[in-house]
Structure 1
Amino acid sequence: MRPCGPLFTPSGECRHHSDHYPAGVKVIRYGREAGASDAREAAVTISIAQKDAAAPAGQTAAILTTAIAPAIWGTTYYVTTEFLPQGYPLTVAMLRALPAGLLLLAFVRALPTGIWWGRAFILGALNFSIFWALLFVSAYRLPGGVAATLGAVQPLIVIALARLVLGRPVRPLAVLAGIGGMAGIALVVLRPEAALDPVGIAAGLAGIVSLACGTVLSRHWQPPVSSLTFAAWQLTAGGLLLLPAALLLEPALPVPTATNLIGFAWISVIGAAVTYIFWFRGLARIEPSAIASLGLLSPLVATTVGWLLLNQSLTPLQFGGFFLAIISLWLSQRAAMTR
């Protein structure tokens, strides 16, 4: 008997009309070969051109999962001010990176080999040690709005570095999105009375350059290991580099309270160990300029958390900044997917 299914009519006749197949499906048909038995019918092979059709969907999924990381990082300001002891920036940064790195390292049970020892420490320094140390310096010397606006410059720096290091083309839409994102964040968080401390501004910009270099090099130096292992290496290296600085430059941390422990658990386990798995996984799949623009979510989430939990008010101008930042974020992702 002839098979009867989606490709055949109930009477056993093959369906040969292209409108029976969805868009993007290529149908290859083979007729009866001369001298073949009547019991043998033509084989109908369907090949689906999935590569081009699935690429946008896969890219969107990668963007959404990577965006989890900066969204969670947006809660760091609230957790730091409400749950953690004040005045220990290097110690807090070390306790955020090192326990998370060691936890992941114990899980993956894989150490770097050869050249990856040096690269792990370079990336750990750029993405964590230098960036977090300078971030806290700028946070202490600048109003939060100024520091966040400086952070919004990162996508533009990454675009330039990606051109120099990776040979990526500079897309005008990505540059426009970067400028728009910076303007949107400035409208959301910047205040007219904000004081501009030169040391704080220099530290903030240097920290952003450090993170931008780490972002581009993390894409350039893709190791033959999973994103989980890659995150473990960098977090551990960054935490180890912060350890002597915290011990030498800051007083001993007081005995933590239950509230402190909750805060440390959040910024280390959730805010570092979990989020950086998503982040480094995204770095391997998304254009550097696009992933850098996802950082705009952090100040937006931080402002939203302050509005919801700290009873902070938002003006119509800030809502306009929110809209501009979101549009710029969307444009940045569109630019990255344009070939």
Structure 2
Amino acid sequence: MTRPFAPRLLWPLLATALIVSWSSGFIGIRLASEEAGVMLVLFWRTLMSGLLLLPLALLRGPRLTVRVVAEQMVFGVMVVFLYLGGFALAIGQRVPTGLVALISDLVPLAIAALSQPLLGERLRGRQWLGTGIGVAGVLIVSQDSLRLGHAPLWAYGVTVAAMLVFALATVLQKRRGMLQLPVYQTLCIQSLTGAALFGLAALAEGDITPPATPGFLLGVGWLVIFSTFFCYSIYYIALRLYPAAQVSSVIYLSPPVTMIWGWLMFDEPLTGLMFLGLAVTLVGVWLTSARTLPRATNRGRNAPDTFGDQVRLDG
């Protein structure tokens, strides 16, 4: 299918908007968590996002059956509550936002590792090499972050666990061959599922009443309008006009942007060693994100060739 014509100068504008808005999710959580607990922040973010999308999800797109809703709720638990909640919890514990963004972008490496046993996709040697290089880069960044930061050690582990949960959810969705709903329907169901769980977690911490402070309102508004709706609008417009590989490659530039934002806004650590580790990691992600070679099975033939089909809510 022929792609719509795109003016030559449109790509730099879309790419810049995508990088900034994608990285803004980490900064918005950091900003709002200055005023309230991360569970309360995520409750209001996911609740507002889900409610705003609900009329569209009910009135347009395929009919939502009980089975489809239940499946999306399961993935909502994994990719919203556990994945997004894990990263937000780490940021709330003051893990540097740039490191959190970097670990988030390791999802293709984890998907590559899980695709062989679960999807029957044979990986090239360069992909295994890329996985090792990517992990080495994260260890370089983490070493400086651990030395300069103030977060507890377990919070760094939470970021890795959250990334692995997202990768597992993506691979399981591919394995099941689930009905491909429009993004606004999946985002609505998964957001409302996350909101219910974040609400319970916030109640366990005390209250779900939002603090009437400018910082909290700005942070949640930032997350809903800029990091969710604006970000994904730009993302899907770009996918319509440009190749998927070109669009996804831009997203991998979000960690350095996030590091600079965190340094400027919150005085988070920013060192040459961290940028070295970032460069090493990006090389690993680039190597790993090459296409897989499916085995000659029905499941293998039906498996998607590219990573990252599941909608991400971090950006």
Q: TM-score range by the shorter chain?
A: 0.5 to 0.7
- Pairs within 5 Å for 1:61-80: 72-80=21-29
Change in Cα spacing, 1:224 to 1:155, as seen in structure 2 (3 Å) is closer
Structure with more relative contact order (C-alpha pairs < 8 Å, separation 6 or more): 2
Match of 2:39 in 1: 90
Change in Cα spacing, 1:225 to 1:302, as seen in structure 2 (3 Å) is same
1:207 aligns with 2:162: yes
What displacement does 1:141 show? 4.8
1:122 aligns with 2:101: no
Change in Cα spacing, 1:70 to 1:217, as seen in structure 2 (3 Å) is farther
**Residue 178 of structure 1 contacts residue 332 of structure 1 at CA under 8 Å; is this kept in 2?**
yes
**Distance in 1, Cα, partners of 2:223 & 2:208:** 20
**Residue 102 of structure 1 contacts residue 232 of structure 1 at CA under 8 Å; is this kept in 2?**
yes
**Distance in 1, Cα, partners of 2:233 & 2:288:** 22
Q: CA offsets per residue over residues 306-333 of structure 1, 9 Å max, x none? A: 3455566744433433433343343334
Change in Cα spacing, 1:222 to 1:242, as seen in structure 2 (3 Å) is same
Letter in 2 for 1:75: S
What displacement does 1:173 show? 2.0
Letter in 1 for 2:170: T
**Residue 35 of structure 2 contacts residue 211 of structure 2 at CA under 8 Å; is this kept in 1?**
no
1:249 aligns with 2:198: no
- Pairs within 5 Å for 1:168-247: 168-188=121-141, 190-191=143-144, 193=147, 197=152, 199-220=154-175, 221-247=177-203
**Distance in 2, Cα, partners of 1:237 & 1:277:** 22
What displacement does 1:106 show? 1.8
| TM-score (norm: length of structure 1) | 0.64
What displacement does 1:155 show? 3.2
What displacement does 1:127 show? 0.3
Change in Cα spacing, 1:260 to 1:159, as seen in structure 2 (3 Å) is same
**Residue 188 of structure 1 contacts residue 322 of structure 1 at CA under 8 Å; is this kept in 2?**
yes
Change in Cα spacing, 1:207 to 1:279, as seen in structure 2 (3 Å) is farther
User: SS of the counterpart of 2:258?
Assistant: helix
**Residue 149 of structure 1 contacts residue 189 of structure 1 at CA under 8 Å; is this kept in 2?**
no
**Distance in 2, Cα, partners of 1:228 & 1:202:** 31
1:135 aligns with 2:91: no
What displacement does 1:273 show? 3.6
What displacement does 1:215 show? 2.3
Change in Cα spacing, 1:77 to 1:272, as seen in structure 2 (3 Å) is same
Match of 2:281 in 1: 325
What displacement does 1:207 show? 1.9
| TM-score (norm: length of structure 2) | 0.68
Change in Cα spacing, 1:277 to 1:231, as seen in structure 2 (3 Å) is farther
More helix by share: 2
Match of 2:291 in 1: 336
User: SS of the counterpart of 2:121?
Assistant: coil
CA RMSD of aligned residues (A): 4.2
**Residue 189 of structure 1 contacts residue 303 of structure 1 at CA under 8 Å; is this kept in 2?**
no
Unaligned runs of 5+ in 2: 4-12, 294-304, 306-315
What displacement does 1:85 show? 4.1
- Pairs within 5 Å for 1:294-333: 296-307=252-263, 309=265, 314-333=270-289
Aligned length: 276
Change in Cα spacing, 1:324 to 1:97, as seen in structure 2 (3 Å) is same
What displacement does 1:84 show? 4.9
Change in Cα spacing, 1:67 to 1:94, as seen in structure 2 (3 Å) is farther
Q: Percent identity?
A: 22
Match of 2:227 in 1: 271
Q: CA offsets per residue over residues 120-169 of structure 1, 9 Å max, x none? A: 11110000112233334444457337656654654332222222333222
Q: CA offsets per residue over residues 164-191 of structure 1, 9 Å max, x none? A: 3332222322232233333334444641
Letter in 2 for 1:118: A
**Residue 29 of structure 2 contacts residue 91 of structure 2 at CA under 8 Å; is this kept in 1?**
no
